[in-house]
Structure 1
């Protein structure tokens, strides 16, 4: 099934995640319970898939269990290596530092950086970035996807305007491609509602069509 293949290609189950991080399943569960590391991106019961971003969706898959992005084991190791009681603080310190550095490199001032870091942290810990970010192992990967999405949404009115004023078609297509590279494909269960469908697969052909029509009119 398509969903089963997607999970197999991009995610690992609880025991594999623990093994990759070099800890026991019990230790992994304790870190999740303490909200020291990202929660599983998906929790599946035969016939449903649940995520923080999309809630519960009925599927025809019979797979069950919790599923994690293997890239997120970096955060598990940081937490596991911290002193007892300091696991979450260690992860927050590492992540917030990386997020802030890359937000500053995008031109945000100190006040906006602090606000954006605070806004991003809940999505990190509830597992959402494992669902939507191509590289959730670093603050850089998270910021790249978030900034590109924010820019595309603003320029195109969330994908509804393929010809924003003052933006050349080639520039917009490059932005779409960069965003596609920074984002996950999304699972078959949620793809129809995803930002990727709206800002890549739906928007790109409309930009190309509008560009071709402009060129034809100028000929």
Structure 2
């Protein structure tokens, strides 16, 4: 798949997102500036695609524009229902409530939960979750991807160990599949450096061949 096709399949540009959600482009830009909507995941122009996660990457295709996940329509809807001047407060309040609820199903202590909430928020703001999370419109979708990746990295030494102790082969394969379902495919621009290549495509065959 070309980068252009990937963006068309998984993303929309700024004017399209504004049109799909019924707001002017300048209103969408104001939500981003206020921090009530994540920044664009990708910015393309002059032979470069830039993301917060991977920085600028040279590309052969002539693409231009700012690209958002269409799932962000939910955050726009929440922001538009907020009192004037309180859009970020309401969006982030909704997100943090959802993150906490989802994290409590994985972790027992408030410290574990709050540490992760604090760590996740900058990645929401930067648009990084739009790049790597299959469902960036809910706290639960974000938590599922992040926690599954965290556990997979810890168990396999970031994909280096296909036979970690303490987990059966089939259980590890299921964990890999669960992570793959919760994560994005990643674009051709950063795929070679992505967690998906390292923790799914490169790791799964090695785990499957064991036993």
TM-score (norm 1): 0.94
TM alignment of 1:186-197, pairs within 5 A: 186-197=186-197
Where does residue 217 of structure 1 map in the other structure? none
Q: Deviations over 1:157-210 (max 9, x none)?
A: 000000001211100000000000000000000000000000000000111122
Where does residue 23 of structure 2 map in the other structure? 23
How far off its partner does 1:93 sit?
0.6
Runs of 4+ in 1 over 3 A off after TM superposition: none
Where does residue 138 of structure 1 map in the other structure? 138
Where does residue 44 of structure 1 map in the other structure? 44
The alignment of Structure 1 onto Structure 2 pairs a total of residues equal to 211
How far off its partner does 1:109 sit?
1.2
1:162 aligns with 2:162: yes
Q: Distance in 2 between matches of 1:123 and 1:25?
A: 23
Q: Distance in 1 between matches of 2:107 and 2:115?
A: 14
1:46 touches 1:61 (CA, 8 Å); kept in 2? Answer: no
RMSD (CA atoms): 1.0
Structure whose CA Rg is larger: 1
Segments of structure 2 that go 5 or more residues without pairing to the other structure are none
TM-score (norm 2): 0.98
Give the 3-state SS of the residue equivalent to 1:50 in structure 2: strand
Segments of structure 1 that go 5 or more residues without pairing to the other structure are 212-219
2:107 touches 2:113 (CA, 8 Å); kept in 1? Answer: no
Give the 3-state SS of the residue equivalent to 1:105 in structure 2: coil
Q: Distance in 1 between matches of 2:71 and 2:79?
A: 14
Where does residue 207 of structure 1 map in the other structure? 207
Q: Deviations over 1:39-58 (max 9, x none)?
A: 10000003110000000000
Q: Distance in 2 between matches of 1:73 and 1:51?
A: 20
Q: Distance in 1 between matches of 2:115 and 2:91?
A: 18
1:120 aligns with 2:120: yes
